[in-house]
Amino acid sequence: MTLITTILDGQESEASSLSRSNPAIKIPAVLLALAASASWLATAAVTYYMPDVIDFGRVPEFAALSILIAAALIAGVIAGIRQPALGAKVRRLLPWSLALGIFTLIWQLLAGKLGVLPQPFFPPPHGLLEVFTDDYPKLIEGVLASLRLEFLGFAFGAIIGFWVGVALGWSRTFGYWVHPIMRFIGPVPSIAWLPIAFFAFPSSFSASIFLIALTTGFPVAVLTWSGVASVNPAYYDVARTLGANERFLIFKVAIPAALPHVFVGLFMGLGASFAVLVTAEMMGVKAGLGFYLQWAQGWAAYANMYAALIVMAVMCTGLVSLLFKIRDRVLSYQKGDVKW
C-alpha cells in the first residue's frame, strides 16, 4: 500500500521536499564534508594496510576507489562555493556519504580484516569489486536478458490488462462474463502457474513471458476498470450534448479520465512482476540475473551473489523511476500549481 500512496502523493511529496529547507544540514557543510571524506580515507587505509583474513584480491583498487570518493567529496564542496546549484546537490549528498563511509569501514573491518563475519559467506567490499571488474560481461549479459524478458512480459500484460479493464468498465456483457473469471483466478499468485506454464508453453522463455504478463495484467486491468468506472458522469453529459458518439466517449473521455488510475495499476504490476521475473529465471530460464544468482550459489561464489543483488536493485529501481518519468510526462496536466 505504501507504493500506492507514494504514487498518488508523488507530486505533493516532490513539491514539499523542494520547498522544505534541507533539515539534514545543521552542521556546517565543511565539517560534514571533512568527516565524510575522512571516513572514506579511513576505509582506504584499513583496506590497504591491514592484512586480509583470506585473500580477496582487488585490495589496491578498492583503496584507490575510496580515496577517489573522498577526493570527489572535497572537490564537490569546493566547486559548490562557485556554483550554488552544484553546491546544494553536493551538500544534500554529504550525510549519506558519511553514513556509507562509516558502513563500508565497519563492513571492511568485520568481513575482510578481523574475520568476525564468517567467510566466505560475507565477502568484504573489495571482494565485490573483484566481481564487477572481472565478471562484468556475464553481469551485463544477465541484465540484458532480464530486461528483455521483463519488457516483453510487462508490455503484453499492460496492454492486455488495459483493454480488459476498459472493456470491464464499459460493457456490461463483457463484465458479466469476465468479472467472475477475474475474481476466481485473480487472487492466485502467478507463481502457482509456473509448473503448468513450463510444460504448457513451447519454451521456458515464452512461459515466463506469460507469467510476467499475467502478474502485470491483473492489477492493470483492475485499476483501469475502477478508473473507467469512476469517471465523473458529468463528463459524459458534456460530451454527449456536444455531439459525441460512443467511440468518442470511450477514447476521448473515459480513457484519458482513467489514466491516473491506470498508472497506479502499472506501478503495482511492475513491482509484482519483478518477483515473477527472478523466480522464473531461477526455475527455468537459463539467462538473466535470477539465473546468475542461482548459478553463483551453485559455485559458492558468494561475492557474485551480492554483486548480482546490487545490479538487480539498480535495474529494478531504474525501471520504477522510468515509469515515474513516463507518468509525469503523460499526466503533465496535473503539474504546476500556478493560479491566475
106/259 with CB nearer other proteins? 259
127/169 with CB nearer other proteins? 169
222/231 with CB nearer other proteins? 231
In sequence order, the 6+-apart residues with CB closer than 8 A to the CB of 234 are none
Least distance (Å) between residue 314 CB and other proteins: 33
Residue 165 cell numbers, joined:
479493464
Q: What is the distance between the alpha carbons of residues 263 and 165, in angstroms, rounded to a whole number?
A: 13
Give whole-number Cα distances, 298 to 54, 56, 139, in Å. Answer: 21, 19, 16
Least distance (Å) between residue 234 CB and other proteins: 5
Cis amide leading into 120 (omega within 30): yes
Least distance (Å) between residue 220 CB and other proteins: 19
Residue 305 cell numbers, joined:
551473489
Give whole-number Cα distances, 323 to 131, 265, 305, 327, in Å. Answer: 30, 11, 27, 6
Contact 291, 282 (CB under 8 A): yes
Least distance (Å) between residue 248 CB and other proteins: 5
Q: What is the distance between the alpha carbons of residues 266 and 231, in angstroms, rounded to a whole number?
A: 19
Contact 238, 213 (CB under 8 A): no
Q: What is the distance between the alpha carbons of residues 169 and 60, in angstroms, rounded to a whole number?
A: 62
Q: What is the distance between the alpha carbons of residues 107 and 117, in angstroms, rounded to a whole number?
A: 9
Least distance (Å) between residue 13 CB and other proteins: 18
85/242 with CB nearer other proteins? 242
Least distance (Å) between residue 175 CB and other proteins: 22
DSSP 8-state secondary structure symbol assigned to residue 118? P
Q: What is the distance between the alpha carbons of residues 68 and 149, in angstroms, rounded to a whole number?
A: 37
φ/ψ of residue 100, rounded to 5:
-65, -35
102/330 with CB nearer other proteins? 330
Least distance (Å) between residue 227 CB and other proteins: 13
Closest CA to 256 of 236, 284, 278: 236
For the chain, what is the total number of helices (H) and then of strands (E)?
15, 0
91/327 with CB nearer other proteins? 327
155/331 with CB nearer other proteins? 331
Residues near other proteins, by CB under 8 A: 232, 234-235, 237-245, 248, 252-253, 256-257, 259, 331, 333-334, 336-340
321/334 with CB nearer other proteins? 334
55/337 with CB nearer other proteins? 337
Least distance (Å) between residue 120 CB and other proteins: 56
Q: In 3-state terms, what secondary structure has residue 202?
A: coil
Least distance (Å) between residue 328 CB and other proteins: 14
Residue type, 229: A
Residue 309 cell numbers, joined:
543483488
